[in-house]
């Protein structure tokens, strides 16, 4: 099959339904994989990066409704993958959009978005009122839902309503185990560049061990480009396993689900690393679990933060950073220990978006500093972290 054929827009061939837990039904055209899938329905305000969003392991167990009407315009390519598709629950379970997909118009595209979705098992629906869905979520919170795609218009709506109504809430769900690595692996691929593709990694930089709870590939690329040697280990590794690798620094990665549920098996290892004096950086779920490991608390958010245009105030620099976010839980800043300093705060709702400890080399951010939603405001998080490790080992 030629690249041109791969990029051709398939005509909608099926029917789809989005059924919410309260019984509301949205009818539209089906695309991507066929079948049924259950998930927490959230909305995402990003205008670009849909491939990265749906492939982000942090979205496991969720159906993403894009507020931007056009999805798939740039197609897909292997270089922008955030996670492999050979593991269960490695991406969002469904996608909702307003307009039907058109053929991509980007020189880097190698496959149409709908075909990419089908290969990953992501069910899509188009032709629905995404503004109505977004308003509902803003007013009532993120509901559980079922998304279904069939070649025939013969859905058992009552069964779908029951399925959505009985679906377990995201609160209390442990999902990281389904997306994390099972074995240690070295990572040596850096950022993608317009001229040279992906950069090669350092062979003599500080060693950063990444605890994988569903880590995005771009976090690993950013660490490599900042000058680190990177080793990825399972989020179920013990403190002894991690310290045996003699890391100069540890990153606690992003991931899906309720941090308190993942923390039932992860917090002891994180505490062990902190107590050993190893510099630690937490990102997203990792930020929340660091807070829990230090005795703090996390809260379920009604609608969460999902998008690429979120303003975050950096108290350390005085600057406002425009960042990407994807989280449905937040750190209760009042529950953090006395040696914790709030470094970042959301200018949307004032929720905590980062802290550091004054007594130990621990820092974390709620947003995704590896993402570049136009600006690259938060790339400095990795540069500062790796630079601090280089000083430690000098």
Question: Is 370 annotated in the active site?
Answer: yes
Strands 207-212 and 62-66: unpaired
| Cα(195)–Cα(199) distance, integer angstroms | 10
Dihedral angle sign, alpha carbons of residues 84, 86, 88, 93: positive
Annotated catalytic residue, options 36, 52, 81, 370? 370
Annotated catalytic residue, options 284, 306, 310, 344? 284
Question: Is 368 annotated in the active site?
Answer: yes
CB-count exposure of residue 196 (10 Å: 0-12, 13-18, 19+): exposed
Residues 6+ apart with CB under 8 A from 287: 252, 331, 354, 364, 365, 366
- DSSP-assigned states of every residue in 321-377: EEEEEEEEEEEEGGGS-TTEEEEEEETTT--EEEEEESSSSEEEESSBTT--SSS-T
Dihedral angle sign, alpha carbons of residues 155, 129, 134, 61: positive
Neighbours of 194 (CB within 10 A): 5
Which H or E element spans position 208?
A: strand 207-212
Please tell me what DSSP assigns to residue 315.
Answer: T
Annotated catalytic residue, options 149, 305, 327, 368? 368
Question: Do residues 60 and 38 make contact, with C-beta atoms less than 8 angstroms apart?
Answer: no
Question: Is 112 annotated in the active site?
Answer: no
| Cα(206)–Cα(295) distance, integer angstroms | 29
- The residues annotated as belonging to the active site are 284, 368, 370
């Amino acid at each position: 099959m030629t690249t041109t054929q791969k990029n051709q827009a398939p005509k909608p061939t099926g029917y789809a339904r989005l059924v919410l837990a309260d019984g509301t039904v949205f009818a539209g055209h089906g695309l991507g994989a066929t079948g049924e899938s259950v998930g927490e329905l959230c909305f995402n305000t990003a205008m670009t990066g849909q491939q990265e969003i749906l492939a982000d392991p942090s979205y496991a167990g969720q159906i993403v409704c894009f507020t931007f009407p056009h999805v798939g315009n740039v197609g897909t390519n292997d270089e922008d993958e955030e996670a492999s598709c050979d593991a269960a629950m490695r991406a969002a379970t469904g996608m909702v959009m307003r307009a039907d997909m058109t053929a991509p118009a980007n020189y880097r595209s190698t496959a149409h978005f709908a075909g990419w979705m089908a290969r990953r098992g992501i069910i899509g629906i188009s032709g629905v009122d995404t503004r109505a869905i977004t308003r509902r979520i803003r007013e009532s919170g993120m509901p559980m839902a079922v998304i279904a795609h069939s070649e025939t218009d013969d859905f058992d709506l009552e069964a779908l309503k029951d399925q959505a109504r009985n679906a377990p809430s995201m609160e209390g769900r442990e999902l990281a185990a389904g997306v994390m690595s099972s074995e240690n692996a070295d990572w040596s691929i850096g950022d993608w560049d317009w001229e040279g593709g992906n950069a090669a990694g350092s062979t003599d930089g500080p060693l950063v061990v990444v605890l994988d709870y569903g880590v995005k590939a771009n976090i690993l690329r950013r660490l490599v480009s900042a000058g680190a040697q990177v080793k990825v280990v399972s989020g179920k590794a013990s403190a002894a396993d991690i310290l045996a690798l003699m890391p100069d620094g540890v990153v606690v990665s992003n991931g899906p689900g309720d941090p308190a549920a993942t923390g039932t098996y992860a917090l002891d290892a994180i505490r062990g690393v902190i107590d050993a004096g190893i510099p630690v950086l937490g990102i997203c779920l990792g930020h929340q679990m660091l807070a829990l490991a230090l005795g703090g608390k996390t809260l379920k958010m009604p609608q969460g933060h999902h998008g690429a245009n979120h303003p975050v105030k950096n108290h350390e620099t005085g600057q406002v950073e425009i960042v990407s976010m994807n989280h449905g839980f937040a750190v209760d800043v009042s529950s953090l220990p006395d040696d914790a300093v709030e470094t970042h705060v959301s200018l949307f709702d004032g929720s905590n978006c980062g802290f550091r400890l004054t007594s130990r080399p621990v820092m974390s951010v709620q947003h995704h500093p590896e993402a570049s939603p136009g600006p690259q405001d938060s790339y400095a998080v990795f540069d500062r972290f790796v630079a601090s490790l280089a000083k430690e080992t000098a």
